[in-house]
Chains A and B, each alone.
Chain A
């Protein structure tokens, strides 16, 4: 429990609910009910049924032969890319849509960066016949066009966010404004382990299925449920938190979180939050964020829309500050090269987000026989344009 949320909604120095009064009733309603609802046997049954029959879980834990040869260790890929809609995001949206129904909400809003969370939200709204509005930065609408089309086809309204850097942060601002203006009938499905308490905890719980399965699969495949390393990319940090969740208290399992360095951590075009950031408040929680001395949020940059965010979830800030997790970063170029390498070696085109985690393998040194799990958080279909342009395919 050392790394879990306390009764005040904090992880060490981080977390809390820094929200205007307009959001208080909504967030408080969630806080009072989320554990009760999630722990309910009927909820669990329906949640797991959908994960199995609709999402296609458990996702495979694949021992990647050629990667393993290359790095001299057993490299396992946790195949979240094989989920319905192509990323880990749907684990969370299935959970939250069921919860929203229990709370009697009629309208769903969400922010999206890469469009994966938007698609996953639009999907569950279609599934449960609920109205759906997705906020997405103008820049992201352009670079993730296939996902915009998918959301529309799924019946969602996609609203462009045109303030700031026109990316994930700004889409989140717009979603919060929508929620303020629609305080009664609307549930906001936040897509990562960010936002006011209880969101970071709730999203982590829904994503924890990733490490829950991984443990069982490792035990079956290696005879031990304890790998030497687990790696995941971090935008807000939901796939990483899902991947870390059941390993957090196993102190011998090294947790490696890979942030987006963009054009280089010191280039001025980066999203390497723990490296560049300081403690502060963003989107409702106290965490680490990229900001000026005056406390203004700095616009991030990453080639991957899903990592293009100036903060990280409060639980990550806590893992970073306590040294429980190692936070590293990978540049745009390194991630794209790693994406191509994965495609060539394993026949898997990864999302550029996930390629950040894979890229860090190149920088590590392994002992023979070590077991390494990388969360392959999503597939690269949505990123083909970016790959095509970069590699002149």
Chain B
């Protein structure tokens, strides 16, 4: 069974961590994955950097730029992930923009994901219609889950369509925002989370964007199967001893 499916069947309050591959140093990708699993992360989203990340705020922009400047490429990432499954057992998704995937080749990309043991992808600027027409067969052939985002502005009909197209989870944005904005759970956000909860979607949901501490994480978990932390984690590993930074960061959520 797909590792993502299994995770959602077995666990609640899932903590998923995003980080940018090749940051802070090119060779850190695997070490971070191992450290995160050891410290209790349930799922990983490894970002392959892009030069023009329009959905990202300053922190992830900067990490992407540093990673690229240091020589990171999608090809190099797949080489780094070659032995991923020797040490990492939790689900792993790749997250990035569509152009690097196009240049790598969609078919080749899916094969490479399957080969190294990647379980799914999040490609925010890949539209649903394109996915359906040109990517879906290839993703499914390689047992990859494609995760779509929804925002408070996403119409209900569209949410159901997304629910039908995906088989991993649905990525619930706390608000329409670039990454790194703080989550402010006011009445409207709560109403939105509740509305989604009551739709009884077939896919589990994860809340992301703006989760930065235990309090916002717990809040998110009360409305969804778990939450995704990105910017706050990327900030936390900017310098210092990597394993220690990871451990210290994760402690806050496991308390």
Residues of A participating in the B interface, judged by any CB pair closer than 8 Å: 8, 16-22, 24-25, 163-164, 169, 173, 176-177, 180-181, 183-184, 278-284, 291, 293-297
The answer to whether B178 touches A177 (Cβ under 8 A) is yes
Task: Check: B51 CB closer than 8 A to any chain A CB.
Answer: yes
The answer to whether A22 touches B102 (Cβ under 8 A) is no
List of B residues within 8 angstroms of A284 by Cβ: 125
The answer to whether B181 touches A181 (Cβ under 8 A) is yes
Having A183-B151, A283-B54, A293-B103, one finds 11 other A-B pairs with CB under 8 Å, namely: A18-B126, A20-B54, A24-B127, A24-B153, A177-B55, A180-B177, A181-B178, A281-B102, A283-B52, A294-B104, A296-B51
List of B residues within 8 angstroms of A281 by Cβ: 97-99, 102, 125
The answer to whether B54 touches A18 (Cβ under 8 A) is no
The answer to whether A164 touches B52 (Cβ under 8 A) is yes
In the assembly, what is the distance between CA of A293 and CA of B71, in Å?
A: 12
Using A20-B149, A22-B176, A281-B99 as known contacts, say yes or no to A297 and B51 having CB atoms under 8 A apart.
yes
List of A residues within 8 angstroms of B178 by Cβ: 177, 180-181
In the assembly, what is the distance between CA of A169 and CA of B99, in Å?
A: 15
Give the contacts of B73-92 with A (CB-CB under 8 A): 73-75
List of B residues within 8 angstroms of A296 by Cβ: 50-51, 68, 100
List of A residues within 8 angstroms of B148 by Cβ: 21
List of B residues within 8 angstroms of A181 by Cβ: 176-178, 181
In the assembly, what is the distance between CA of A180 and CA of B151, in Å?
A: 10
Using A22-B177, A25-B153, A25-B155 as known contacts, say yes or no to A173 and B52 having CB atoms under 8 A apart.
yes
Max chain A C-beta neighbours (<10 A), residue from B65, B98, B125: B125
Closest 8 CB pairs of A and B: A295-B103, A295-B100, A20-B124, A294-B73, A183-B176, A21-B149, A296-B51, A25-B153
Across the interface, A294 reaches (CB within 8 A) one of B61, B100, B127, B151, namely B100
B181 to chain A, nearest CB (A): 7
In the assembly, what is the distance between CA of A163 and CA of B51, in Å?
A: 10
In the assembly, what is the distance between CA of A309 and CA of B99, in Å?
A: 17
Task: Check: B154 CB closer than 8 A to any chain A CB.
Answer: yes
A176's nearest neighbour on chain B, judged by CB, is: B54
Using A184-B153, A280-B102 as known contacts, say yes or no to A16 and B75 having CB atoms under 8 A apart.
no
A243 to chain B, nearest CB (A): 28
In the assembly, what is the distance between CA of A24 and CA of B65, in Å?
A: 26
Task: Check: B207 CB closer than 8 A to any chain A CB.
Answer: no
- B contact patch SS: loop
The answer to whether B54 touches A294 (Cβ under 8 A) is no
Across the interface, A291 reaches (CB within 8 A) one of B68, B99, B125, B149, namely B99
Using A16-B130, A183-B151, A295-B103 as known contacts, say yes or no to A21 and B173 having CB atoms under 8 A apart.
yes
List of A residues within 8 angstroms of B75 by Cβ: 294
Interface residues on B, range: 35 or more
Task: Check: B36 CB closer than 8 A to any chain A CB.
Answer: no
In the assembly, what is the distance between CA of A163 and CA of B151, in Å?
A: 26
In the assembly, what is the distance between CA of A173 and CA of B126, in Å?
A: 17
List of A residues within 8 angstroms of B177 by Cβ: 22, 180-181
List of B residues within 8 angstroms of A24 by Cβ: 127, 153-154, 158
Task: Check: B112 CB closer than 8 A to any chain A CB.
Answer: no
The answer to whether A20 touches B102 (Cβ under 8 A) is no
B98 to chain A, nearest CB (A): 5
The answer to whether B54 touches A163 (Cβ under 8 A) is no
B155-194: contact bitstring with A at CB < 8 Å (1 yes, 0 no)? 1001000000000000001001110010000000000000
In the assembly, what is the distance between CA of A185 and CA of B125, in Å?
A: 22
List of A residues within 8 angstroms of B98 by Cβ: 18, 281
Task: Check: B229 CB closer than 8 A to any chain A CB.
Answer: no
A-B residue pairs in contact (CB < 8 Å), sample of 8 = A17-B127, A20-B149, A25-B151, A164-B51, A180-B178, A181-B176, A295-B74, A295-B100
List of B residues within 8 angstroms of A183 by Cβ: 151, 153, 176
Across the interface, A18 reaches (CB within 8 A) one of B51, B127, B153, B181, namely B127
Give the contacts of B29-68 with A (CB-CB under 8 A): 50-55, 57, 61, 65, 68
The answer to whether A21 touches B65 (Cβ under 8 A) is no
List of A residues within 8 angstroms of B103 by Cβ: 278, 280, 291, 293-295
A299's nearest neighbour on chain B, judged by CB, is: B51
B137-152: contact bitstring with A at CB < 8 Å (1 yes, 0 no)? 0000000000011110
List of A residues within 8 angstroms of B181 by Cβ: 181
A7 to chain B, nearest CB (A): 12
In the assembly, what is the distance between CA of A282 and CA of B99, in Å?
A: 8
Give the contacts of B215-229 with A (CB-CB under 8 A): none
In the assembly, what is the distance between CA of A25 and CA of B55, in Å?
A: 15
In the assembly, what is the distance between CA of A293 and CA of B129, in Å?
A: 26
A278's nearest neighbour on chain B, judged by CB, is: B103
A184's nearest neighbour on chain B, judged by CB, is: B153
List of A residues within 8 angstroms of B124 by Cβ: 20-21
In the assembly, what is the distance between CA of A367 and CA of B178, in Å?
A: 56
The answer to whether A22 touches B127 (Cβ under 8 A) is no
Across the interface, A282 reaches (CB within 8 A) one of B52, B68, B149, B155, namely B52
In the assembly, what is the distance between CA of A296 and CA of B49, in Å?
A: 9
A149 to chain B, nearest CB (A): 28
Task: Check: B201 CB closer than 8 A to any chain A CB.
Answer: no
In the assembly, what is the distance between CA of A71 and CA of B68, in Å?
A: 48
Task: Check: B242 CB closer than 8 A to any chain A CB.
Answer: no
List of B residues within 8 angstroms of A19 by Cβ: 125, 127
